[in-house]
Chains A and B, each alone.
Chain A
């Protein structure tokens, strides 16, 4: 009796949703407007900061802050390393984890790149040595990423602990390889990459921009990115949907380590030397950039676009305060305040959109 082919609006339909529908739709619209504004908060922050420094510069000494190409260039160069780390960190934080080892993976890559380029330069010529050194440094950087990934995915070590351990290991190995000092590079091609520019845009800024664009594509347009968001929101749901969580997490931590590897190589190029402590101050900066950029430390939300703004917020604060000649310690205070404000906005937004509309 029930196998009739009565498709479409069947008998039970009429009773259910006489009241809920328009109301819920209305709520959607209001909430997403709030969400959209909150998503843009890092860019608004950045704009406010730049305007603030600009006003300060004009009032106190009649100069310009952001319209000065030298300043602009310095800020972008300054932002490259924290931005690259923050890009990897964005992926990890969206998945609900955190990668504390990135700073020293960057240092490790910087030292390895310096050594490798020095070793290859006599035999292979300068450009080839740089290419090989770059590849080797990124591959070496991937090793702690693999270990992080295995710890988190197979052995179920909490990311905070697993990557904290790798923070120590990478740090020690980097200092051992560097012999406790910095490793100068004797390769002028490498130095050109690190300090040259085309139409006033530094090469390393171009390299970083292309890389970040590719990462934006990976996060927003591919299955890997989509699964990353799903895992951060509901691991159980992702698993039930047939996503291979273990292989995803492994690839995820390798990816973040490779971001740090690239940052390390660009660091060596810029300073013409590898240093184990290259990324030491950047670890917390990169987490801060991701959080300021709108990601939630609970996972499930965040974008590369937001992280870019977050990284520039930090860079502008740090550079701007030096520019207006304030004692450098104010940098820590202002970055700290911005982080707290960001988290407060995140939580307000959560409260707004978390309270679901019941019909």
Chain B
């Protein structure tokens, strides 16, 4: 379906915790503008897989290639620097800061007041925030409001906006719709469509088959640490996916 060079290639990845095999020989390819869903029961290895990709720990064996080059990340920061950003369930936002403050958290732009005094460049932060959020079709007039004033879906958009601003090529989203109401879920799904249209790769973990079918191109089902199956969304059904998950 998509012949462009893959953004991310994971081949034969395994992870052991002592004698416990959490993940065995899992492979995965994400191409630009592609949304790959990861599904599976609790303990199937979804989280282990994304942690191995995003630098939380190194895989025991196997290879991760980013745009054709082998990579090995010691920390999530290294992965982030290379353009792999993980959006966590709990959002990882500082509620008391503005959208701009969150986007630039840890790498705030500075300017010189009166020609010598270094101060935070809030104007630049607000501007970048406004532009980034507009790219995600999210418009707010009050850029100086703390993000605690926004709804769950809007906050999810801020977390995604931060990744987009720092030019993440691969976004890993762990249950991005789990804690949200139905209209908010729709909003997040449309955000993922935006990311897709911008040519980014998305790995999307969800328990919600409806969401998966609404937004993904392919689905990879894990079961007890191995790949139970990989399907194109256009060629599979809810029933088949559920069977793969429970091992029918």
Contact = CB atoms under 8 A, between A and B. Distances in A.
Contacts of A222: 118-120
B148 A353 contact: yes
B183 A20 contact: yes
Given A2-B196, A238-B105, 11 more contacts: A2-B31, A3-B4, A12-B189, A16-B183, A217-B119, A223-B108, A223-B120, A226-B105, A229-B97, A242-B107, A358-B152
A24 interface: yes
B119 A237 contact: no
B92 A357 contact: no
B115 interface: no
Contacts, number: 169
B119 A221 contact: yes
Given A2-B33, A5-B199, A24-B150, A300 B95 contact: yes
B152 to A, nearest CB: 7
A24 B154 contact: yes
B140 interface: yes
B67 interface: no
Interface stretch (A25-33, A146-154, A160-168): A25-33
A236 B184 contact: no
26 contacts: A2-B31, A3-B32, A9-B137, A12-B189, A12-B190, A12-B192, A16-B137, A16-B190, A17-B137, A20-B154, A21-B139, A24-B140, A27-B149, A28-B142, A32-B145, A222-B120, A226-B97, A230-B94, A233-B94, A242-B80, A242-B106, A354-B148, A357-B150, A358-B151, A359-B151, A359-B183
A240 interface: yes
A234 B148 CA distance: 12
B96 A300 contact: yes
B229 to A, nearest CB: 22
Contact of A237 (B31, B93, B217): B93
Contacts of B2: 1-3
B120 A226 contact: yes
A347 to B, nearest CB: 15
B167 interface: no
A10 B152 contact: no
B74 interface: no
Interface string A324-359: 000000000000000000000000000001101111
Contacts of B191: 12, 16
B174 interface: no
Ranked nearest first, the 4 interchain pairs of A and B with the lowest CB-CB distance are: A12-B193, A2-B33, A241-B106, A12-B190
A243 B108 CA distance: 11
Interface string A243-272: 100000000000000000000000000000
Nearest to A9: B137
A70 B29 CA distance: 78
Contacts of B139: 21
B76 A240 contact: yes
A11 B193 CA distance: 8
A221 B149 contact: no
A227 interface: yes
B197 A234 contact: no
A227 B94 CA distance: 10
Contacts of B194: 10, 12-13
B153 A243 contact: no
Considering residues A2, A10, A11, A227, which has the most beta carbons from chain B within 10 angstroms of its beta carbon? A2
A234 B92 contact: yes
Central interface residue in B90, B105, B137, B154, by most chain A CB within 10 Å: B105
Contact of B34 (A2, A5, A25, A230): A2
Interface in A1-53: 1-13, 15-17, 19-21, 24-25, 27-29, 31-32
Contact of B96 (A25, A229, A357): A229
A145 interface: no
Which of B102, B194, B217 counts the most chain A CB atoms within 10 A?
Answer: B194
Contact of A2 (B97, B150, B184, B217): B217
A232 interface: yes
